[in-house]
Chains A and B, each alone.
Chain A
Amino acid sequence: MAEFFHMGGYALYVWSSIGITAVVLLLNVLLPLQKHREMLRRAADFHELEGGNHDTR
């Protein structure tokens, strides 16, 4: 197992390559998912104002 993490002496290069790739890919789904929630919230606000009873506000 230690040998696996050691990567024949290239651990720094191999694992930082994989780590950086993982972080960049993760951001590529987390940011859109976060924006999706924000979009749905904005849509809900917009349509509530449009269709709701304006007199109560």
Chain B
Amino acid sequence: MIKTEAAPSNSGLFKLWYHRMASPVWFYRISGKLLPWLWALFAVLLVTGLYGGLVTAPADYQQGDSFRIIYVHVPAAWLSMFVYMVMAVSGAIALIWRIKLAEMVLVSCAPIGASFTFIALVTGSLWGKPMWGTWWVWDARMTSELILLFLYLGVIGLYSAIEDKRMASRAVAILALVGIVNIPIIHYSVEWWNTLHQGATVTKFDKPSIHIDMLIPLLLMAGAFKVFFAISLLLRTRNELLERELPRKWVKQLVEENDG
């Protein structure tokens, strides 16, 4: 009878990958290697997107050059929701599997998400003034986006208020998961309620109602913002990792390497 060694099954490989992903040292090293590439990609997307959006794209036939605010407003608004989803999913992983790295990603998302939400609100206001004649209206889109900002600030505040960081992470994860109901409300608010805010021009099922020369820079800027999110998230998560694991041996080795 021939005895064969069992080949690593798919689930075995998955477990291996999973544990490496969750390993702090591995994450710290790989993210350090990844960051320069992300910076380069960000620079390319940003320069081409800004040039396309501010220089080559034609002025809007109704809104003139004021429509160019779209190139920072819409990517920021998209990312404000995307970051929330990343935060909530990390929260779920942190709650279910108790993975420390997921906790760190969760808390690192909050200030970045708050920043994007702030940008979306402020640039929206700066766009609303010349187009609608008002800085702000309490309509569904803007109110739900403002609630998103408060959710992010709530996560930041709650996390810093609880001394034990593992307990704080769990509390924050629950808050993030509860707040997820706000995301579809933001997205569909312009369809569900009559509002000043214009409807979707890109993210709808039929053809986008935006000219291709305007659309391409918008997609480039959205890409730039997404890569920026990755950069800022990695930087913050690395800091969180260092802070929590300060006494560990791998941090000691890291410090010695830096000295040498």
Give residues in A with beta carbon < 8 Å to B.
4, 7-10, 13-14, 16-18, 20-21, 24-25, 27-29, 32-33, 35-36, 39-40, 42-44, 46-47, 50-51
Q: Name the B residues within 8 Å of A4 (CB-CB).
A: 54-55
Closest to B231 in A: A29
What would 27 A/B residue contacts be, using CB atoms closer than 8 Å?
Answer: A8-B59, A8-B64, A13-B126, A13-B127, A13-B129, A14-B68, A14-B69, A20-B123, A20-B126, A21-B72, A21-B119, A24-B118, A24-B119, A25-B119, A25-B228, A28-B111, A29-B235, A32-B239, A35-B239, A36-B235, A39-B243, A39-B246, A40-B254, A42-B246, A43-B242, A43-B251, A44-B259
Q: Are B127 and A40 in contact (CB under 8 A)?
A: no
- Please report B residues at the A interface, Cβ cutoff 8 Å: 54-55, 59, 64-66, 68-69, 72-73, 76, 111-112, 115, 118-119, 122-123, 126-127, 129-130, 228, 231-232, 235-236, 238-239, 242-243, 246-247, 251-252, 254-256, 258-259
Establish whether residues B126 and A32, one from each chain, have CB atoms under 8 Å apart when the complex forms.
Answer: no
Q: Cβ of B130: which chain A residues have Cβ within 8 Å of it?
A: 10, 13
* A17 and B123 in contact, given A10-B66, A39-B243, A44-B259 (Cβ under 8 angstroms): yes
Q: Which residue of B lies closest to A41 (CB)?
A: B255
Partner of B115, one of A7, A8, A25, A42: A25
- Rounded to whole angstroms, the CA-CA distance of A26 and B129 in the bound complex is 26
A46: contacting residue among B68, B127, B129, B247, CB under 8 A: B247
Report the bound CA distance from A14 to B127 in whole Å: 8
Distance of A20 Cα from B232 Cα, bound (Å): 17
| Measured CA separation A24–B114 after assembly (Å) | 10
State the CA gap A29–B118 with chains docked (Å).
16
Of all chain A residues, which has the CB nearest B245?
A43
Contact A9 to B115, CB < 8 A, known contacts A17-B127, A43-B254, A43-B255: no
- How distant is the Cα of A7 from the Cα of B240 in the complex, in angstroms? 42
